[in-house]
Amino acid sequence: MRRALAGIAAAPGMALGRARLERPARFTLDTTPLPDDQVESEIARLDRAFQIAREELAELRRKLHGALAREAGEFLDAHTLLLNDRELIEGLHGMIRKGHYRAGAALKAQRDRLVAVFDNMDDPYLRSRGEDIDHVIARVQAALARQTPQEEKKLATRVGEILVTDSVAPGELAHLAGHGIRGVVSVSGSPYSHSAILARSMRLPMLVAVDGVLDDLRDGDLVMVDAERGEVVLHPAAQDLARYRNWQRDALREGRRLAQLAGARTVTRDGHELRLYANAEMPADIERARGLGAAGIGLYRTEFLFLSRDRLPTEEEQFVAYRDVVVGMDGLPVTIRTLELGADKADGTGLVMSEEPNPALGVRGIRLSLRQPELLRTQLRAILRAGCYGPVRILVPMVTDVTEMVEVRGMVEACARDLRTEGHEIPDQFEIGAMVEVPAAALGVRAILAVAEFLAIGSNDLTQYVLAVDRNNDELGRMYQPAHPAVLRMIARVIAYARRARKPVCLCGEIAGDPVFAPLLVALGLEEFSMLPDRILAQRDALSRCDRKALRALAPRLLRATSRDDIAALLKVAERE
């Protein structure tokens, strides 16, 4: 019998598939007091369960790749942080030791207390953070119940299923999406949850707050997620299927329309050509970039080479990886960024200082590389050698001061000399560019331009440093605003100085590929954008609708704007004109 249940759309779109039910784990909690002689073994059992949960998260992280790994990584970090929270763990130990709670009962009591704190918050975003606690504690409870890391949840799903669940953690969602899940329906959750953010970025339709959905369904029943209307239809009828087909047809048409833009030039409405480059870190990104007609690789992140193994990659291993990228791009320029590791990025290489008090302001990017000259030298040699297979540029991350650029250039020249002496063929000259992502570099951009051949604006970090908002801190998610007038002014300044110096400047943070930012960045004078390959077509489409002349004329007013609302209003005016 057809039934429609209302929910809140957390990620748009529609999906049809068989239900795959994940009921909340029901634990039979033993609430009888723990005998004295079992206290220590119970604490050990709890600690083991925490350890298993940490290992599961680490395993999940290893399974995720590319852009997804970056997005889900932040959420996994938040969960890992909770699993390492001394206060939480010591509180639980205290309950077992002094209150004679059993581990499961202690976890439940702590969960209820913490979730109640979040539930009472006025801000819906903060309120939804209670979900993180729920997911983490559920994971520990599950580990406690089985105490073995082997028994994976039944994650290997079949294609074409709709996940129907009480609530889903972001890591699991990312993993399931890779296994063919088409849509998600959850009983709890909110559009502000990490899972919702992830579902949107994976284009996975998602409905949350769907009461009773688990009671009325059986595994394998046909369900339709309609996030356009905000309902889930159990046992859809003919008229639902017709609606789904219509939606599918429109979505396909839009997909096809965008697909026609593959390989096209990116030209604004008033005939100005812009260049779209790709950000890449995996071989698959290179293929996509070529296929979609990227002008080159604007940012090749080399971290993946270092994070995917537990020892440092050799010069030869790095050379082969870089050469393959250069050959793959077939004569188009490839910008290789030197290692950007820091304490905020997981690391099996032992390079990163593990206990920095303030990792975002710590030894990361070029700071780390300059402290480990051998490491940088090995990387530079590999990059220089790859340079004889096509145009390669070297990009230096986290530049704060010109002296860092001067040091790198000195090392590049020394490496080039050594390589030639050893009989390697390498190009005569190399372009070295600076990432502008630290406010000091943006303010001192004239000096940086004197020692760099090109610039790349790292708006992800620039935003966090200009606003003093940790980009990995979920609590501050809504304060992390790349469209803040202060950030825009910094970006405008860097672009203006680079143009004046007649040196190329590209923006390679996430906003480069966000259609919402397209008119804003055109207004600030940006002509080179570097983004995830998947974003290229939609951004090409958005940019081709921009009237560059009208937007450029708006720039002085945009830069005087004092709020994001003013900026939005000005852009609306430009759109109408």
Give the residue numbers marked as catalytic: 194, 508
Residue 460 beta carbon to ligand PEP: minimum distance, rounded to whole angstroms: 3
Of 167 and 279, the one with the shorter C-beta distance to Mg ion is 279
- 181-186, strands of its sheet edge to edge: 3-6, 231-234, 222-226, 14-22, 161-165, 181-186, 206-208, 8-11
| Residue 71 binds ligand PEP (CB under 6 A) | no
Within residues 289-308, the interface with ligand PEP by CB under 6 A covers 299, 301
Single residue of 22, 77, 437, 528 touching ligand PEP by CB under 6 A: 437
Dihedral (CA of 142, 148, 149, 155) sign: negative
Assign 3-class secondary structure to 38-87. HHHHHHHHHHHHHHHHHHHHHHHHHHCCHHHHHHHHHHHHHHHHHHCCHH
Buried b (16+ CB within 10 A) or exposed e, 413-441: eebbeebeeeeeebeeebbbbbbbbbbeb
User: Of the listed pieces 8-16, 105-113, 166-174, 452-460, which binds ligand PEP according to CB under 6 A?
Assistant: 452-460
Amino acid residing at 486: A
Within residues 153-192, the interface with Mg ion by CB under 5 A covers none
Question: How far is it, in rounded angstroms, from Cα 474 to Cα 25?
Answer: 26
Of 157 and 460, the one with the shorter C-beta distance to Mg ion is 460
If contact means CB under 5 to 8 A according to the sort of partner, which of ligand PEP, Mg ion, none does residue 509 touch? ligand PEP
Of 460 and 481, the one with the shorter C-beta distance to ligand PEP is 460
If contact means CB under 5 to 8 A according to the sort of partner, which of Mg ion, ligand PEP, none does residue 459 touch? ligand PEP
Single residue of 73, 313, 333, 458 touching Mg ion by CB under 5 A: 458
Amino acid residing at 216: D
Contact 312, 306 (CB under 8 A): yes
Binding mask 314-353 for ligand PEP (x = CB under 6 A): --------------------------x-------------
| Selection from 574, 549, 476 nearest residue 269 by Cα | 549
Question: How far is it, in rounded angstroms, from Cα 102 to Cα 32?
Answer: 8
Residue 532 beta carbon to ligand PEP: minimum distance, rounded to whole angstroms: 11
Of 437 and 547, the one with the shorter C-beta distance to Mg ion is 437
User: Of the listed pieces 85-93, 353-361, 433-441, 445-453, which binds Mg ion according to CB under 5 A?
Assistant: 433-441
Contact 275, 295 (CB under 8 A): yes
Residue 464 beta carbon to Mg ion: minimum distance, rounded to whole angstroms: 9
| Selection from 563, 262, 296 nearest residue 456 by Cα | 296
**Residue 311 DSSP symbol:** S
Within residues 249-278, the interface with ligand PEP by CB under 6 A covers none
Bridge pairing between strands 273-280 and 528-531: parallel
Q: In angstroms, how far is CA 577 from the centroid of its own chain? A: 35
Residue 299 beta carbon to Mg ion: minimum distance, rounded to whole angstroms: 9
Of 278 and 537, the one with the shorter C-beta distance to Mg ion is 278
User: Of the listed pieces 218-226, 266-274, 461-469, 513-521, which binds Mg ion according to CB under 5 A?
Assistant: 461-469
Residue 35 beta carbon to ligand PEP: minimum distance, rounded to whole angstroms: 52
Question: How far is it, in rounded angstroms, from Cα 60 to Cα 69?
Answer: 10
Single residue of 56, 461, 470, 474 touching Mg ion by CB under 5 A: 461
Q: How many residues bind ligand PEP (CB under 6 A)?
A: 10
| Selection from 238, 237, 185 nearest residue 207 by Cα | 185
**Residue 158 DSSP symbol:** P
Contact 512, 524 (CB under 8 A): no
Of 56 and 340, the one with the shorter C-beta distance to ligand PEP is 340
Facing residues of 16 across strands? 224
Of 378 and 530, the one with the shorter C-beta distance to ligand PEP is 530
Residue 437 beta carbon to ligand PEP: minimum distance, rounded to whole angstroms: 5
Of 285 and 340, the one with the shorter C-beta distance to Mg ion is 340
Within residues 454-513, the interface with ligand PEP by CB under 6 A covers 458-461, 508-509
Contact 278, 288 (CB under 8 A): yes
Q: Which residues bind ligand PEP (CB under 6 A)?
A: 299, 301, 340, 437, 458-461, 508-509
Q: Which residues bind Mg ion (CB under 5 A)?
A: 437, 458, 461
